[in-house]
Amino acid sequence: MKVLMAMSGGVDSSVAAALLQQDGHHVVGVTMRLWGGESDTGCCSVSDVDDARRVAQQIGIDHLVFNFSEDFNEQVVQPYIAAHAEGTTPNPCIECNRGLKFARLTERADALGFDAVATGHHARLVANSYGDMRVHRGADDAKDQSYVVHMLAGRELQRTLFPVGNMTKAEVRKEAERLGLRTASKPDSQDVCFITSTGGRETFLGDRIPFHPAKVVDMAGNQVGEVDSVEMVTIGQRRGIGLYKTEEKRFVVDVDTANRIVVVGSDADLMRTGVALQAMVWASGEAVAGEYRVQCSAHGASLPCTAEILSDNRVQLTLHEAHRRIAPGQSAVLYDPSDSYVVAGGLVNAASAWPASVGATA
C-alpha cells in the first residue's frame, strides 16, 4: 500500500513511519509547513522539519515538505483571533487537525495517488460489526488522542492509519531507541505553534486585535474589579481577573465582550448540568439521540450524559452529574456508553449551559 506519512518531527510520527516501512508499505514522509511566522514552541519550527527529514533518511524513505501556510492562516490562525475578539475560547490544534492534517492532506494524497494517510496520533481505528471504521481510544490512557481526532468521519476514516495507536508512549520511545532514531528522547510538543514562549498569547493577540477594558461584576451585578482586556478572559479563569479584594476564591462564570462585562462567582456558580453543541460531526454520518459519555478537554475524564438532537446540526446534552461550565468554542466529544470509541463531536455553543442550581446564571 502507498502511504503518505505525516511527520511532525516528533518521536510518535518517526516510529509510525518506521513501522509502516517495516510492514512492507511504500511510505513517503511529508512535513507540513504551516506557520510562517516566529515559532519557538509547538510543532512548526525549522528544527522540527529538519528532524523529520533526517529520520526519513535514517529509515530510508523519501521526504516531502508541503507548504500549507495560507490554508493554516485562513482555517486556524484567523479563526483563533476572531474567536478571542468575540469572547470564545478556541482550540487551534483541533482545527488544524480538522482542516489541515486530515482534510487538506487527504486531498493532496488523492492527487498524488496514495492509498492512505498516516499520522503518529495515539488513537486506534477499529471496524465495527458492519465494517465501518471508528476512532477508538489509544492503548496508552495517559496519551490517548482520540479527542483531538474526533472529526474524522466517512471516507477519511477509511483512509487513515494510526500505526502507534496500539502502543504505549514508553513502547514508542523504546522502539525509537532500538532503531537509533534521533527523535527517541525528544520531548512532546505541548504548545500552540504560533504562540511563542517569550511573547505568549497576550502579545500575539495584542498585535492583531484591539483590547478593551471591562468591568468585573459578581453574581448580583455589583462591580468587584476590572480587567484591561476582556478578550483575554475565559470561562473558569481564576487568576488575572482584576478583583479589588481576593479573600474569596472567585472564578469567571461568564464573559460578555459586547458589553465589556466579566461575571465572577464561586466554584459552585460554575457548575452546570447542560451543554449545547453546534457544528456536530457524527462518525456514522447520522445523528442519533441517546445515552453517551462526553469528554470536554484533551485529557479530562468523560461524563455520562443524554443527547437530544436539535435542528441545524445542534445537540443539547444533559449531564448526569454537574460539571464546571465549558468555555464556548471548546470541543466536546461523545463516546459510546462504554467509553471506548468516538461517536460524534462538536463545538460548545456560547449560550450553552443551564445552571446546576437555582440562582446561577449561564
Strand pairing partners for 127? Answer: 133
Give the max Cα distance, the chain. 68
CB atoms within 10 A of CB 242: 16
Q: Edge to edge, what strands does the sheet with 26-33 contain? A: 62-67, 26-33, 2-6, 116-118, 160-161
Distance of alpha carbon 325 from alpha carbon 152, whole angstroms: 26
44 is catalytic: no
Is the four-CA dihedral 230, 236, 237, 242 of positive or negative sign? positive
Q: What are phi and psi of 164, to 5 degrees?
A: -100, 10
Distance of alpha carbon 314 from alpha carbon 332, whole angstroms: 12
- The number of helix segments (H) and strand segments (E) in the chain equals 10, 17
193 is catalytic: yes
Catalytic residue among 43, 44, 93, 193: 193
End-to-end CA distance of the chain: 51
DSSP state of 355: B
Please, which residues have CB within 8 angstroms of residue 164's CB and are 6 or more apart in sequence? 12, 15, 16, 19, 120, 121, 122, 172
Listed in order, strand segments (DSSP E) in 194-283 are: 214-217, 223-227, 251-256, 261-265, 271-282
Catalytic residue among 43, 44, 93, 96: 96
Residues annotated catalytic, as ranges: 96, 193
